[in-house]
Structure 1
Amino acid sequence: MTRHPEFQYLDLMTRLLENGDRRIDRTGVGTLATFGAMMRFDLSDGTFPVYTTKRVYWKTAVKEMLWFLTGQTNIRSLLRENVRIWSDWPLARYRKETGIEITQQEFEAQVVADEEFAEAWGDLGPVYGKQWRRWIDQSGREHDQIATIIETLRNNPSSRRMIFHAWNVGELDQMALHPCHMVYQFYVSGLDSGQPRLSLMVTQRSSDHMLGNPFNICQQAALLAMIAQQVDIPVGELVWSGGDVHLYLNHVDQAKEQLTRVPRPFPKLTLARKPASIDGYRIEDFVVTGYDPYPPIEAPVAV
């Protein structure tokens, strides 16, 4: 019997708990960390790798991916979609620079209601979407890395250069958070047999194993599904490679609770329609069936 692929995630969690290198990190919370990890998920049968040993809010994760694809960097449009996962960084900046102890709910409401306030305080700097869709080179020319990937897949699918990334050294100091999932590389197998499959490998320099990784895996699978549909190549594998993989010290009890649970079958993903371009996808296009997770496990975000 094939071992459930979610055990890759759980085994890595066990490795962190038992042998993690105790470190003081940027946030001051502290972590148990390891360096270098890999997981592989076969998505060729429509599998959607949403972890089951705790509820993962996959719609929120996919909405974030759709936001990246718009090229936007302001949290206002995210908040309008009820996605709050990026609010902590601009809120912390607002409190620090103004000295006003506004609540997160009040801050988010003002970002949504007041366009000028949103422009002043809701922007994250040139984060993922800016680099993916609007990378500016030294001559001032704009590069749409996603469009280039799609064009290359259509015209030269055996290329070894189907890569996009967000680690723009010249703009790192302007970003609210440096890119974690940095490099995306595409690969088409089976070209010689006439049965191609499109796979994606993501290299992630830093991975919050409890909170970040579950979101990243399912949203990266969603991206693969969208691009595969756009270029008419069936989906193959999602390969995830982690650099500094860590468990925050205030997530240890939650991790131990999750490890008591046995994975259930992954759900399936179908796309309800094929938009004219990668820019046309909406959350309603993602039809997920058979998701039967354990209850959620709450854990604090380290900022």
Structure 2
Amino acid sequence: MSYADKIFVDMCRNILDNGTDTKGEKVRPKWDDGSFAYTIKKFGVVNRYDLKKEFPAITLRKTGFKNCLDELLWIWQKKSNNVHDLNSHIWDAWADETGSIGKAYGYQLGIKHHYKEGDMDQVDRVLYDLKHNPYSRRIMTNIYNHEDLHEMNLYPCAYSMTFNVTKNEETGNLVLNGILNQRSQDVLTANNWNVCQYAALIHMFAQVNDMEVGEFIHVIADAHIYDKHVPLIEELITREQHPAPKLWINPEIKNFYDFTVDDLKLEDYVTGPQIKNIPVAV
């Protein structure tokens, strides 16, 4: 069965059984009817996935992999902050009349910085170091730029990615590992979405640098389940679990900027039914 399912179920059970309820406290998010959106939260959740063994898509319900990739490439490849460059509408609630979400996410990754090797943005800096300095302990991105927070329509949730290279002593190949740091996460709507995105990113970066994939570690400071999501989660984590899907990645792609949403696919992806009309707090 999918190890990602086990991680997800255990995490949700831990939040529900041992988390802190924010009901009655001062919170920012609200539901569509104007009522406050309270959560049950757990501090410091750390989940570890071995990408060599399986691709970590849960099978309890289907994760929309193509839209996951579309959003990931919107941020990391297009370095865009405009929803008109997206094929889904998940960011529409945070966009202004022009489609902009402000100086957030892709905007931050696209800012060029000055290094001794030349001017480059954060994504290109990662790609440069993976090629030229794979054992560097400084291969990371950070889009939580305090100087620009007042011009972001939503503060970054998944804000920092750290890459670290090890070696497979059996094959002699370099191995790419990654840690995603996230300040806050709506577990029902976003957990496996983010896991699939950044697992895919590690696969893409590994392929274009002739590396194997290793571990993906997901660190969440505030992992929470919204009050209206509790019965949905309770039902979801009792569902039948299936074997993990297999990731197909186009072996012809050698440049990260050449990847499209059609160059990665999940094969043999058997899942439970989708949960429709999930309320989203804004």
TM-score, normalization: structure 2? 0.89
Does 2:58 match 1:56? no
Displacement after TM superposition at 1:143 (Å): 4.1
Residue of structure 2 equivalent to 1:125: 102
- Where does 1:67-78 land on structure 2 (aligned, <5 Å)? 67-69=74-76, 70-78=78-86
**Corresponding residue for residue 38 of structure 1:** 46
In the TM superposition, what is the alpha-carbon distance from 1:230 to its structure 2 partner?
1.1
Cα distance in structure 1, aligned partners of 2:6 and 2:237: 10
Note the aligned Cα RMSD (angstroms).
Answer: 1.9
Residue deviations 1:47-88, cap 9 Å, x none? Answer: 22111111111111111001112111110121xx2x111011
Structure 1 residues 278, 3: closer, same or farther in 2, change over 3 A? closer
Q: Which residue, 156, 167, 170 being the options, matches 1:190?
A: 167
Which string of whole-angstrom CA distances, capped at 9 and with x for unpartnered residues, describes residues 182-202 of structure 1?
110111112777232111110
Structure 2 match to 1:302: 281
Question: Residue 188 of structure 2 aligns to a residue in which SS?
Answer: coil
Match of 1:87 among 92, 100, 105: 92
Amino acid at match of 1:75: V
Distance 2:7 2:168 in 1: 29
One-letter code aligned to 2:197: Q
Is the 8 Å Cα contact of residues 48 and 266 (structure 1) preserved in structure 2? yes
CA distance in 2, matches of 1:149, 1:3: 30
Structure 2 portions without partners, runs of 5+: 30-35
The residue number in structure 1 matching 2:28 is: 26
Rounded Cα–Cα distance in structure 2 between residues aligned with 1:148 and 1:191: 24
1:79-228 alignment runs, 5 A limit: 81=87, 83-90=88-95, 120-134=97-111, 143-190=120-167, 194-228=172-206
- Counterpart CA distance in 2 for 1:4 and 1:222 is 17
SS at match of 2:37: coil
Quote the Cα distance in structure 1 between the aligned partners of 2:260 and 2:137: 30
Compared CA separation, residues 135 and 186, structure 1 to 2 (3 A): same
2:228 matched to which residue of 1? 250
Unaligned runs of 5+ in 1: 94-119
Residue correspondences, number: 267
* CA deviation vs aligned residue, 1:123-163 (integer Å, no higher than 9, x gap): 001111111122568xxx96411111111111111111001
Structure 2 counterpart SS, 1:255? helix
The structure with the greater share of residues assigned to helix is 1
Letter in 2 for 1:177: L
SS state at 1:121 partner? coil
Contact 2:207–2:254 (8 Å) recurs in 1: no
Describe the superposition over 1:208-253 as per-residue Cα deviations: whole angstroms up to 9, x where unpaired: 1111111100011111111011111011111111101100111011
CA distance in 2, matches of 1:288, 1:5: 14
Distance 2:109 2:243 in 1: 33
Judging changes above 3 Å, is the alpha-carbon distance between structure 1 residues 274 and 167 closer, same or farther for their aligned structure 2 residues? farther
Distance across 2 between alignment mates of 1:165 and 1:40: 21
Describe the SS at the equivalent of 1:122: coil
Indicate if the aligned counterparts of 2:65 and 2:266 stay in contact, CA closer than 8 A: no
Q: Is the 8 A contact 1:206 1:244 kept in 2?
A: yes
Residue 297 of structure 1 and its aligned partner are, at CA, apart by: 1.5
The aligned counterpart of 2:240 is 262
* Cα distance per residue 1:238-295 (max 9 Å; x no partner): 1111101100111011000111113211111121243352211111101221100100
Secondary structure of 1:40 counterpart: strand
Q: Indicate if the aligned counterparts of 1:4 and 1:263 stay in contact, CA closer than 8 A.
A: no
| Correspondences of 1:227-242 after superposition (within 5 Å) | 227-242=205-220
What is aligned with 2:12? 13
Query: What's the % identity of the aligned pairs?
Result: 31
Q: In structure 2, how many angstroms separate the alpha carbons of the residues matched to 1:274 and 1:134?
A: 29
